[in-house]
Amino acid sequence: MPRFSGVLLLIASGLGLNSACGQMNYESERQAMVDELRNESRLTEEYGAPRISDQTLEVLGRVPRHEFVPDDQKRYAYENRPLPIGAGQTISQPYIVALMTDLAEVTKDDVVLEVGTGSGYQAAVLSELAGHVYTIEIIEMLGQRAKSVLDRLGYNNVTVRIGDGYAGWPDQAPFDAILVTAAPENIPQPLIEQLAVGGRMVIPVGAEGEVQVLQVLTKNSDGLLIVKNVIAVRFVPLIREER
């Protein structure tokens, strides 16, 4: 509280203006990010990558990415690049978030599993499109922080759990879509088993420091998987619980 009542109104008004200007800046920066992603999508389409849908871009235009990054990273929140979030982890580049969301083809009736909550940003994006999102984070500090942010922002159709995502979430399976936001060297068998018939899994595969490939797996009615390679990527490795 200001000490001098004579300047209270002026100071309060100034704080209000600064807050409003800050919010407007975030909104304009977010829209600039969406415009950049739209242009990048057109360019990458020429090299075989799928174009990002308008629906997904609209979602990224609503979700406040700055709320999901540490305070010292907020000024970079709407740059199209990954950012550190602590514990050696990152929030993914917005283009990759948009691409993985699009590849999952999520609809309002879908139950989605995310492996690797991280900041919670990808879960927030998915929640705008899905019926319910179950997300698992092995690093407790990150999982608790993501849950706090998601709850505060009103993402009520997201459930966060601390645990080993390699094992999936059997109690809530099968899943119409599974997104894995860290790279295993091989696709975890439990996730394959928990993918619904007709469901889609979007997952980066490959060892740390080597070429990783973003893949889309679709399970047909015979339980067989159809695998499509999309683009080369670089993700942090999928962490397992010590055994």
Say if 227 falls within a structural domain: yes
Residue 6: predicted pLDDT = 38
Tell me if 208 sits within 8 A of 127, measured CB to CB: no
Catalytic residue positions, numbered: 92
Residue 15: predicted pLDDT = 38
Can you give the residue range of the structural domain that contains 96? 5-233
Tell me if 180 sits within 8 A of 239, measured CB to CB: no
Say if 242 falls within a structural domain: no
Say if 240 falls within a structural domain: no
- The CATH code of the domain that includes 18 is 3.40.50.150
pLDDT band per the 50, 70, 90 thresholds, residue 5: very low
pLDDT band per the 50, 70, 90 thresholds, residue 22: low
Say if 241 falls within a structural domain: no
At 63-90, the pLDDT tens digits run 999 999 999 999 999 999 999 999 999 9
* Total number of domains in the chain: 1
**Global pTM value:** 0.88
Tell me if 38 sits within 8 A of 52, measured CB to CB: yes
Rounded Cα gap, residues 214 and 48, in angstroms: 13
At 95-149, the pLDDT tens digits run 999 999 999 999 999 999 999 999 999 999 999 999 999 999 999 999 999 999 9
